Amino acid sequence: MSLRDKIIGLEEQAARDCTITVQIHGGKDREIYVENCRKIISCDDDFITLGIFGANVRVSGVPLILENFGVGGVKISGKITSVEFTEILENVDEK
């Protein structure tokens, strides 16, 4: 097995292991934990967009607070009003 195949296998495993947990506590505040977050695409008080394996996650609410809770993990807290997932389709050139 080549190094490239091993890396692809690790990415596929990480995609299966990506976890998003939404916890609703008493009152209006909520928390979302996203493990295996690849990148923070955008962040402001009302919207946070994260890149995970194969998708983007967009969280909206007011005010949103983004915290790091470990390697590849983030916590978003605040009055969360919606969570949207957008699948990222990779371009494959056909020959």
What does the alpha-carbon distance between residue 52 and residue 78 come to, in Å, rounded to a whole number?
A: 21
Number of domains composing the chain = 1
pLDDT tens string 5-26: 766 666 666 556 566 765 666 5
Please give the order of strands across the beta sheet that includes 55-70: 20-24, 30-34, 73-87, 55-70, 47-52, 39-43
Q: What is the CATH number of the domain that holds 70?
A: 2.60.40.2000
**Six token digits for residue 18:** 């990506």
What residues make up the domain containing 34? 3-87
Q: Say if 8 falls within a structural domain.
A: yes
Q: Say if 11 falls within a structural domain.
A: yes
Q: Say if 93 falls within a structural domain.
A: no
pLDDT tens string 43-67: 999 999 998 877 888 999 989 999 9
Q: Is the pTM of this model over 0.85?
A: no
Q: Say if 68 falls within a structural domain.
A: yes
